[in-house]
Structure formats: C-alpha cells, structure tokens
Amino acid sequence: MELIKPTPEEAEAGLRAMAMVARAPGDIAPPARALIAAAQKVLLSTDFDVDRLAEITPDELARALRRPEIRRQLVHGMVVIGFCAGEPPVAQSNLVERFAAALAVDTPALSALRHLAHHEMLLYRLCFLRNAHFRDAVRDQYTHTGLMGVVKAVLGVKGLVEQPEVAVRYHALEKLPDDRFGKRLWHHYQDNHFAFPGEKGGFPEAGLYHDLTHVLAGYNTTPEGETLVGAFTAGYRERRPDHGFFVALFVLSIFSVGVDLTPIGVGGREGTVGNVAEQFFTAIQRGAAVPTDLSDDWNFSPWLELPLEEARHRLRIPPKQGGNAWDYI
C-alpha cells in the first residue's frame, strides 16, 4: 500500500469528496476529522478547513481525478473514513459507492464497507477471509508443514494442542545477546505474556511476521500499536493484489470499528486510529519503503542472530520520526 502524492488540483477535489463522506453520518466524527487533518499534513501539503469545503458531485470528481492510481487511493481513503469510528451508516457506504462508480474503481473493500453498513456480519467476515492475509498464511503453513501442520497451527491458536519441538526453538532465543533481533523477539513474547509459537495459544509460524514486524518497526501491542503495525504491514504488502489494503482494514475493523475478526477474541474498540492518525500515514510510508514483503514466506531464521539495528538497516526500515527513533509508541 503505497501513498501517492496528488497534484494540488487532485488534492482539493479529493478533500471535498472526503469531507462529504465524513459528514454523511451527520457530524464529522473526531477520528475522521483527525484522519483528514493528518492526510493534509503528511500527504497533501494542504491546509483546508474541512468544515468549509464545498461539496462535489461524482462526475466533477471524476473529471478532476484522471490518474487510476489516485482514484484507487481516494476510494481507499473513503473506506478508511467509513472504518474509523464504529459501524458506518448505510448513507455513508452508499455515498462512497457512488463516488467509486464515477471513478471506475471496483475493489472488494467496497463490499466490506457495504456489508458492515448493512450489518451483514457473516458476509463481512467472509469478505475478509477471501481478501485479507489469512489465505496467504494458510498457504505458507501448508507449503512447509502440509495439511496436518495447518490443522495443528489452527488448533494451537485455539489452545487445544502444542508442539514442544517448535516452542523450544523460540525459548532458546533467550540465550542470545541483548542486542540481537532474536532476543528482542523473545522479550516481545515474554514481556507481553504471550504464548510462544508451538505452545498452546501460540501464533502459527506462518503468521509470525506480525510479531517480527512489531519488533522491527518499533510498535507496541496496545490498540494504537496494533493499528500502526497493520498500517506498516499494508505498506510492505503493496505488491499483493489488494495492494496490502485489507491488512489495514483488518486492524481498523478491530480497533476502530469495534468488530473483532481474530480467532482468539482480542476484543473490539472504536475510534483508535484517531489517536494516531498522523502516525498511521507515516507507518504506511515506512512499510512501503521496505523492499521485502515480510509476509511472503520470508525466511526470518537467519536474521534472528543479527543485531537488531543491523537487521533494520539491511531491511531498509526507516526510523520513526521524533523522540527516540526506536522506542515503542
């Protein structure tokens, strides 16, 4: 998910449409207001008063935005507004679909927004199963461990089975020097009281890139930190068919819509992205700068013995801005 800078004309037209989407529920929700302000600062280099922006028709928007990549980016932005502050009203979803139709943008994210607005929760969940990162993780797990490995991984997350031969490898990371990537991963599990891979309730190895991303990117496991890890991951999954967008929607669903899509029940929360709106955009940019898709069956094992700073340097992960560059948020 790469962020593309619009021209001034594209930026103004897009903001007029975004403001209309944000106003569709009535008042502009604080998270939506924060996201639009952050987009202006981080991406658009504009300073429009969102409350004074004139409305724009779908046809006018289509005439102002000719580039397909800008059109797709704007529609994604509209969907994010719909996902930022609880379940969206049908009127908001309908408006986004009218703009998308005029822009000739067709994306499964529109179906997710529609199902959510109509409270069609089974279809909503199925949309994520088809388009998000779950399918990739199952494929990678199957490639390395076969069908039984996939079954054990699923049952392990549910806390029904354990694989001691897997867990012992991750517990051994404790013996590494404190500056090593693997030792920081060990602390990630230990300090957060998470089960290690292979233990009951532990993450399958095919999905371990999520925890590795926490450590490499420097984001913690609070709802805000998880939101930013999702944005960072969306950035480095740019080359996927959905351009990584469904990973961002996944964390927004849990921590900003309030609909928990995880198999372990972490608990939903509304509006979190508004607390880290500016960082949300910079996390996408940081992730997009990483040339390696860490979720694409990345062989991380040789990296664990490297000093963490060296691993970050080799992977070309940009530091966070402000304060101590690698402190957790």
In a domain? residue 37: yes
pLDDT at 14 over 60: yes
Tell me the C-alpha distance between 76 and 96, whole Å. Answer: 10
Tell me the C-alpha distance between 187 and 184, whole Å. Answer: 5
Q: What is the pLDDT of residues 249-272, one digit of tens each?
A: 999 999 999 999 887 777 888 999
In a domain? residue 282: no
Question: Could you tell me the residue range of the domain that residue 222 belongs to?
Answer: 143-242+289-315
My answer on whether 51 and 115 are in the same domain is: yes
pLDDT at 137 over 90: no
Number of domains in the chain: 2
My answer on whether 296 and 154 are in the same domain is: yes
Q: Which of 29-38, 142-151, 156-165 has the highest mean pLDDT?
A: 29-38
Q: What is the pLDDT of residues 83-119, one digit of tens each?
A: 999 999 999 999 999 999 999 999 999 999 999 999 9
My answer on whether 158 and 220 are in the same domain is: yes
Q: What is the pTM of this model?
A: 0.88
Q: What is the pLDDT of residue 204?
A: 78
My answer on whether 24 and 148 are in the same domain is: no
My answer on whether 35 and 89 are in the same domain is: yes
Cα–Cα nearest to 317, from 297, 294, 296, 287: 287
Residues forming beta bridges with residue 180, ordered by sequence position: 307
